[in-house]
Structure 1
Amino acid sequence: MFTGCVEFDLLLPDDSRSLKAKRSYVRPIVAALRKFDVAVSEVGDQELHGRSTIGVAAVAGDNLHVQEILNACEQHVSGRPEVELLSARRRLFGPEDE
């Protein structure tokens, strides 16, 4: 079994200066990422209005499939015109990692 996770550091538009406005940007991204059959949640920067950190985790039988899933998620987030992807940090784990 192989697992992988990625954290997306996002810069939100200037009009996301309230938590309600911030949620209007974050929720559609989280919902869209769930279509990749991954676990996804806002995992950081909840107190900052113009930023968000979204975490994604995937599990598969081989390392290549995990990487393909995470690549697809990263392409989706980076292709969203309403937010700016500042960074994507990945970690991959396999049977030899303990």
Structure 2
Amino acid sequence: MWIGWNEFDILLGDVRSLKAKRSVVRPLVAEMRKRFLISVAEVGDASLYRRTRLGVSMVSGDRSQIEETLNKVEEMVSRRPEVELLASKMRLVQSSDF
């Protein structure tokens, strides 16, 4: 079994409050979940209104499927006009590594 995750450091565009931040982050998270059938959560920078960290993860028996999916998610995030992807950290581990 393979476990893969990616953490995105994101700068939000014209956002001036935490309420406005939610109006950008929630649709992005919902689209990722629906389109790629992965787990997604805001994992950091919750109190900063122009920054967020999103974590995505998935499990599969096939390493290449995880890599392909996580790369597509990263590409989708980087193409969104309302956000700027500052950094991305992808990790893959096999369950036998634990």
**Shorter-chain TM-score above 0.5:** yes
Corresponding residue pairs, total: 97
Q: Hey, what does 2:24 align to over in structure 1?
A: 25
1:86 is aligned with what amino acid? L
- Per the alignment, in what secondary structure is the counterpart of residue 48 of structure 1? coil
Task: Look up the SS of the partner of 1:34 in the other structure.
Answer: helix
TM-score, scaled to structure 2: 0.94
- Hey, what's the Cα distance between the residues in 1 that align with 2:71 and 2:50? 25
State the shift of 1:62 in Å: 1.0
RMSD: 0.9
**2:3 — aligned with what?**
3
CA apart distance, 1:16? 1.4
Taking the aligned partners of 2:59 and 2:40, their CA distance within structure 1 comes to 12
Percent of residue pairs bearing the same amino acid type: 54
1:17 to partner: Cα distance: 1.9
For 1:95 and 1:20, how far apart are their aligned partners in 2? 39
User: Which residue of the partner structure matches residue 91 of structure 1?
Assistant: 91
Residue 96 of structure 1, CA deviation:
3.5
Query: Deviating runs (4+, > 4 A) in structure 1?
Result: none
Kept in 1: contact 2:3–2:95 (CA 8 A): no
Judging by fraction of residues, say which structure has more helix: 2
CA distance in 1, matches of 2:95, 2:6: 19
Task: Look up the equivalent residue of 2:6 and give its one-letter code.
Answer: V
Aligned to 2:81: 81
Give the residue type in structure 2 aligned to 1:17: R
Q: Give per-residue Cα distances to partners, 1:21-69, cap 9 Å, x unaligned.
A: 0001101110010020100011100010110000000111111011011
Contact 2:15-2:21 at 8 Å conserved across structures = yes
